[in-house]
Amino acid sequence: MEGILRLGFFTMAEKVTAALKGPFPFIVTGAVIAAIWIYFLFLIPRKTKRYGSFAEYLNDVLNFKVMLMGVVAKILYIAFTIVAFIVGIVAMFAANFFVGLIGMLILELLLRLFFELVMVLFSIQENLVVFNDRIDNHLDDDDKD
d(CA 67, CA 118): 13
Q: What are the residue ranges spanned by the domains of the chain?
A: 2-144
Question: Are 81 and 109 within 8 A, CB to CB?
Answer: no
User: Cα-atom radius of gyration of the chain, to the nearest Å?
Assistant: 22
41-89 pLDDT, tens per residue? 887 766 566 778 888 888 888 887 777 888 899 999 999 999 999 988 9
Residues above pLDDT 70, as percent of the chain? 86
Q: What is this structure's pTM?
A: 0.73
Question: Are 104 and 87 within 8 A, CB to CB?
Answer: yes
Question: Are 37 and 112 within 8 A, CB to CB?
Answer: no
